[in-house]
Amino acid sequence: MTPPPRPPEHAPVAGEHSLPRQLTGFQSPIVWGAILLVVIEATIASLFVVSYFYLRLGAPEWPPAGTAPPELLEPTVAQLLLLLSPVPVWVALRPLARDRAGPLLWALPLGLLLAFLYLALQVRSYLDREDLWNTHAYGSLNWSMGGYAGLHVVTVLLAGSVIWALAKRGHFGARRHTGVQALLVYWIFVAVSSLFFYATQYLAPRI
């Protein structure tokens, strides 16, 4: 064929050893998959926030006349709990990488408990709301954002419980913990993205 042979610019191959099967971090396709899932979800979440402000910009009054700005205390506490919730698992990951699975067994339930408290507080505060999803676009945004965040926390609770059950069976160790890593990536995303929702829904209407 026409193109002249080029000398290889880059010696292509790792050394003469065999290759591992258990990959973690950026070596693992599963972690990349989890990151892309987060990118998709983060795009949806940001467009949600953009939509909120788009409708708000077009509105004469926000919140609409006769609606009080939302209660602040309970959602703030809930938000803090949710932000803390991935921390235990994050801490337990290091011993796990050194093959100590013990800390994960208590860190996971602790984190899940925090996330559950968030959910419970949020449900309570929504039940008290006077603006409903079908009274005004303001309510539609609040309820759908809350529902979206809540659904994600439910996902974390379910996935976390499954990981916990697997951990109890001794499934994870130094050589196998991508599942936990992927859960953590997702969990952190859920906590951080709901912070943006929180700022949009609870802080922004007051300024």
Partner 1 sequence: MNQRAEAHPSHERLSRVWDSPKGIWGFMTAVNHRTVGLRFMITAFIFFILAGLEAVVMRVQLALPQLGVVSPDFYNQTFTMHGSTMMFLFVVPFVEGLAIYLVPLMVGAREMAFPRLNLFGYWVFLIAGVTLYVAYLLGMAPDSGWYNYPPLTGPGFRPGAGIDFWVTMITFLEVSALVAAVEIIVTILKMRAPGMSLNRMPVFVWTMLITALMIVIAMPALVLTSLMLALDRFTGTHFFNIAAGGDPFLWQHLFWFFGHPDVYIMLLPAVGVVSMIIPVFAQRALAAYTLVVASIVIIGTLSFGVWVHHMYTVGIALVGLNFFAAASMLITIPSAIQIFSWISTIWNGSLERLTTAMLFAIGFIALFILGGITGIMIAAVPFNWQVHDTYFIVAHFHYVLVGGVVLPIFASVYFWFPKFTGRMLNERLGRWHFWLFVIGFNATFFLMHLTGLEGMPRRVYTYLPGLGWDWLNLLSTLGTFLMAFSVVLFLVNVAVSWRGGTEAGPDPWRGGSLEWATTSPPPNYNFADVPVVRGRDPLWESAGIGMDTRPPWLEELSDPSDELRESITTSVVSADAEGRAVLPGPSPWPMWLALALSVAFIGAMWTTALVPVGLALAFLALLAWHWPAGEGP
Closest approach, Cβ 178 to partner 1, in A, equals 6
Q: Which residues 6+ apart lie within 8 Å of 171 measured at CB?
A: 179
Query: Does the bond joining 60 to the residue before it have cis omega, within 30 degrees of 0?
Result: no
- Give the footprint of partner 1 on residues 37-76 (CB under 8 A): 37, 39-41, 43-44, 47-48, 51, 54-55, 58-59, 64
Applying CB under 8 A, among 118, 138, 187, 202 the residue interacting with partner 1 is 138
CB-nearer residue toward partner 1: 111 or 131: 131
Out of 122, 136, 160, 193, the only residue in the binding site for partner 1 (CB under 8 A) is: 136
Q: Which residue's CB is nearer to partner 1, number 125 or number 142?
A: 142
* From 35-43, 74-82, 93-101, 194-202, span contacting partner 1 (CB under 8 A): 35-43
Kindly tell me which residue out of 10, 98, 127, 170 binds partner 1, with binding defined by CB under 8 A: 10
Q: Which residues contact 6 (CB under 8 A, 6 or more apart)?
A: none
Nearest partner of 79 among 144, 145, 35, judged by Cα: 145
Residue closer to partner 1 by CB (options 20, 98) is 20
How far, in Å, CA of 41 to CA of 23, rounded?
Answer: 25
One of 84, 91, 97, 144 touching partner 1 (CB under 8 A): 144
Q: Does 27 bind partner 1 (CB under 8 A)?
A: yes
Residue in 193, 186, 121 with CA at minimum distance from that of residue 160: 186
Size of the site for partner 1 (CB under 8 A): 61
Residues that bind partner 1 (CB under 8 A): 1-3, 5-6, 8, 10, 12-23, 26-27, 29-30, 32-34, 36-37, 39-41, 43-44, 47-48, 51, 54-55, 58-59, 64, 133-141, 143-144, 158, 162-163, 166, 171, 176, 178-179, 182
